[in-house]
Amino acid sequence: MSTDTADAQVRTIRVGLLGCGTVGGALVDMLGERGADIEARTGIRLEIGAIAVRSASKNRGGGATAGLLTTDARAVVADPDIDVIVEVIGGIEPARELILAALANRKPVITANKELLANCGQELADAAAEARVDLLFEAAAAAAIPIIRPLRESLLGEDVSRVMGIVNGTTNYILTQMTELGADYADALTEAQNLGYAERDPTADVEGYDAGAKAAIMASIAFGAKVAAGDVYHEGISNISAADIAFANRLGYQIKLLAIAERFGDGTDAAPYEIGVRVHPSMVVDDHPLASVRGSFNAVFVEGADAGELMFYGRGAGGRPTASAVLGDLIDAAGNRVRETYHPVPGGPAVPIRPIDDQSSAYYLNLEVADAPGVLAEVAGVFGAHGVSIRSMEQEGLDAEARLVFVTHEATERDIQSTLADLAALDAVHGVGTMLRVIS
């Protein structure tokens, strides 16, 4: 860190950038465009000191000049002339090792790496606390949408009961393209990759791992508890068909991949806290605010005892939206560095995780059955035997059979799964379609 002699008020903070792909490249561009304005507003000059990449020969353009590029990321985090590290490489290693080395060298770290935070967040938070420097990660939950800072600061005194949202831009883009344009799943995924929304391995997006990591991060902050990626139940969207979408729309719902983090109990001996975190495709009733979130947009719906319902909405993926959140964190960390302070990562005790079998929802089921007397009664009897109450039922004639579409009242996952197993075993049931949880 240095003080500019021409203007004693201006402090220069040298940034070590690890990764210069979709997000890192956008950050370099934005620093070039906004650096002077940031300096005028904060008195801090953000100067890129080095950029670590995998391939130094790739042509990157803009401010990522050859003189700044290096393939030696370890040297960047060890360089005494670098004040702050931004990690936008992704994945667990070498990102974990590099961040730990930076923190050990008392350099604040900004990262957008949800996979790493959800798997090793406690280790990184402990290292940041030990070094008394910032570890900031706004971009890791919902890219441009400010949700971490509101949860850790504005809502710190709130009794948050549920955080529920669309937190993966790739899957929301795919589902929107399938719903509105009848697009093919694979084509929509390719488009999402070309637009820079998808992870290096898009399985993380479409199978719900990415949303699960974000849910674990948000649950940890919202509930002041330790929640890791392995605590999250997840299902992805790769089994959702055009027919499922058409059924849902006809019934007045949109299919969305939701991440849901809930706190159960009231913290008393009689009802100790438990946390449930799950990611799955859901049928969201058309008039729910989350139903209208389209394309790569994300939204996070927070429910608190006193604040009531809050919704945070915006761009959940893409280079510049993500770099916008990274830049906000960078300015914050640079200011803290100048003032010699930091924001501790809020921590908390380990809270028991409620298994998915014990969590409840309403459900949508569709069955292909023999169109014969007594079949409906037999099917309804299976629901009743497992204590699952039917809220609505529709029958549609097929060629030689019938399709029954059910929406249930709230039931536990255990009861709905055993209902499904028994229904599938009936001779009169010829096919069990996709089961979806219903959010109204």
The catalytic residues are 214
| Alpha-carbon gap, residue 212 to 233, rounded angstroms | 8
From the list 45-53, 193-201, 243-251, 385-393, the region that binds ligand HSE by CB under 6 A is 193-201
* Neighbouring-strand partners of residue 438: 283, 362
- Residue 199 interacts with ligand HSE (CB under 6 A): yes or no: yes
Rg (CA), the chain: 24
User: Exposed, middle or buried by CB within 10 Å (0-12, 13-18, 19+), for 93?
Assistant: exposed
CB of 20 to ligand NDP, least distance (A): 4
Residue 205 touches which member of ligand NDP, ligand HSE, none, C-beta under 5-8 Å by kind: ligand HSE
- Residue 90 interacts with ligand NDP (CB under 6 A): yes or no: yes
| Alpha-carbon gap, residue 127 to 389, rounded angstroms | 50
- Residue 212 interacts with ligand NDP (CB under 6 A): yes or no: no
Give residue number: closest CB to ligand NDP. 21
Structure tokens at 211: 């949303």
**Crossing angle (nearest 10°) for helices 22-42 and 319-339:** 40
Dihedral sign for Cα atoms in the order 415, 355, 140, 160: positive
Structure tokens at 409: 């009242």
From the list 92-100, 197-205, 269-277, 280-288, the region that binds ligand HSE by CB under 6 A is 197-205
| Alpha-carbon gap, residue 188 to 177, rounded angstroms | 6
**Do residues 304 and 161 lie in contact, with contact meaning Cβ atoms separated by under 8 Å?**
yes
CB of 72 to ligand HSE, least distance (A): 27
From the list 84-92, 152-160, 334-342, 358-366, the region that binds ligand NDP by CB under 6 A is 84-92
| Alpha-carbon gap, residue 275 to 346, rounded angstroms | 17
- Residue 115 interacts with ligand HSE (CB under 6 A): yes or no: no
Residue 113 touches which member of ligand HSE, ligand NDP, none, C-beta under 5-8 Å by kind: ligand NDP
CB of 174 to ligand NDP, least distance (A): 14
3-state secondary structure of 370: strand
- φ/ψ of 304, rounded to 5, equals -130, 155
3-state secondary structure of 112: coil
Q: Strand 411-412 relative to strand 360-370: parallel, antiparallel, unpaired?
A: antiparallel
Query: How many residues touch ligand HSE (CB under 6 A)?
Result: 11
Each residue 202-241 as x (binds ligand HSE by CB under 6 A) or -, in order, gives: ---x----x-------------------------------
Each residue 298-337 as x (binds ligand NDP by CB under 6 A) or -, in order, gives: -------------------xx---x---------------
- Residue 170 interacts with ligand HSE (CB under 6 A): yes or no: yes
Q: Which residues form the interface with ligand HSE (CB under 6 A)?
A: 143, 168-170, 197-199, 205, 210, 316-317
Q: Which residues form the interface with ligand NDP (CB under 6 A)?
A: 18-24, 52-55, 58, 73, 88-90, 94, 112-114, 139, 143, 196-197, 199-200, 317-318, 322
